[in-house]
Copies of this chain bind each other. A is one copy, B any other.
Amino acid sequence: MKMLVADDDRDLRELIGFTLTQAGYFVLKAPDGLNAVRMFESESPDLVVLDINMPGASGFQVCEAIRKRSRVPVIMLTVRGEEEDLVRALELGADDYLTKPFSPRTLLARIKALLRRAGMENAAPLAAGKVRLDIEEHTVEIGEGAPVRLTKLELRLLQMLLANAGHTVSSDRLLIQVWGHRNSGDRQLLKQLVHRLRQKIETDPAVPQLLQTASGAGYKLVVE
């Protein structure tokens, strides 16, 4: 799930970015309105968090531009007491708003509510910790590393593990998720796929840090 955060306040942008990343979303950041519009067009995120007071193009203009081509959920950030801003934002098609200051928890709750309304909350999170998955591109980025291309099966395996990041997923479940229904005796496929994925994402594939084996149980993705 890709989200665009547009705010000229660097600290606030990073805070929101951090919060969303931790929650498992892939985050795009824009420092002003123009970049926000540009990024929206090139990346087509699934949700937009938009500050109203921005240089370049105000949140209103950005919202308007977005609404011209998409019904993507938009949350606007306002300062307390600017009632007319609120009204205008909602008129322009924003789905929700938050008055600054707000807690990260509140933001998350609002976002989840919006996604639920839009029927999008079933999509598996695309990121956790230092692992960021781009499903359309079939790539992962680990930390600051360059994107690595994944095959269809590798992508599905990683997606599955990512959706349960930090928890062990049993081999049976993985087999079912990745290959559909399959003779559960066929562990060899999973062994191979894990091996191949490790070659791509581990710094030392012989000593896996990310994709760890839970002997007798399954595999898990370790994120901190």
Which residues from chain A sit less than 8 Å from chain B, CB to CB? 21-22, 24, 26-27, 105, 119, 122, 136-138, 149, 151-152, 167-170, 172-173, 176-177, 180-181, 214-218, 220
B105 contacts A119, C-beta separation under 8 Å? yes
Q: How many copies of this chain does one complex carry?
A: 2
Among candidates B22, B151, B214, residue contacting A137 with C-beta atoms closer than 8 Å = B214
Closest Cβ–Cβ distance, residue A31 to chain B (whole Å): 16
Residues of B within 8 A of A105 (CB): 119, 122
Closest to A135 in B: B217
Residues of B within 8 A of A24 (CB): 169, 173, 176-177
Among candidates B22, B138, B151, B168, residue contacting A136 with C-beta atoms closer than 8 Å = B168
Which 8 residue pairs of A and B lie closest in terms of their CB atoms, listed nearest first?
A138-B217, A136-B168, A137-B168, A152-B216, A24-B173, A138-B216, A137-B214, A138-B214
